[in-house]
Amino acid sequence: MKKYLFANWKMYLDVAESVALARAFKNLKQSSEISTAVFPSALAATSVVAALQGSAIAVGAQNVYFVDKGGVTGEISAAMFQATGCEFALVGHSERRHLFGETNHVVRQKIDAVVTTKIIPVLCIGETKEQRDKNETAEVLEAQIRSAFTDVAWPAGRDFIIAYEPVWAIGTGAACEPEEAERIAGLVASWTTALMGPEFALIILYGGSVRPDNVSAYINQTHISGVLVGAASTHEDSWQAILEAL
């Protein structure tokens, strides 16, 4: 079974740094059984696509807007990212939800926009520490799933990726225990199957303080097929260590 290793560079790297790291990634030895993608800033996307030409590493967008073209200052549509060569797009990352106020409804609109392109979405879901402490994890995640999928017309056989990223684990070093991440992934699979049917091509990732010393524990779970890595993916040495661990 193919495994997925995705790198969200967030706003850590400028264009020159992104290109340099992309070239370094291109030279690293990697198993053909691992599908890799990097998610640079919007400014660096075109340059990173060019830098990775001839490699098996794909490029994704960190965010998309749900209008193709028009008077929406500062936004970039899924269609525009696709034209640059991006193959994936993060949708509903927790930082978009909690720092920029993106609601489940906004996330759903972005899913509807992505479906009109060939981009594969990476729908990010997750609960805060307060929600987990109140035993609201399942309720919060199911609401995020239902909002994203209810009545969506997703093409048969086309991959759809969901990344479970507990908000309390992102950038904190307090990673979710692999067994708990697997339990949540099982719930996600059951909810999604109920909404989309058993033939839905779902891929589940885990994200949140992924490191070389814990990556294998996540990727070897039954329902988890890969990881979405944040800060640890912005340094060649830690990325190489993650590759070697896999």
Catalytic residues: 93, 165
CA 64, distance to chain mean position in Å, is: 13
* CA–CA separation, 61 and 55 (whole Å): 18
- Contact by Cβ (8 Å): 204, 162: yes
Give the residue among 209, 137, 135, 205 at the shortest CA–CA distance from 169.
209
Q: For tokens 């079974």, what's the residue?
A: 1
Supply 216's token pair.
């294998």
85-107: burial string, b at 16+ Cβ within 10 Å, e else: ebebbbbbbbbbbeeeebebebb
Identify the helix (H) or strand (E) that includes residue 81: helix 78-84
Q: What are phi and psi of 221, to 5 degrees?
A: -75, 160
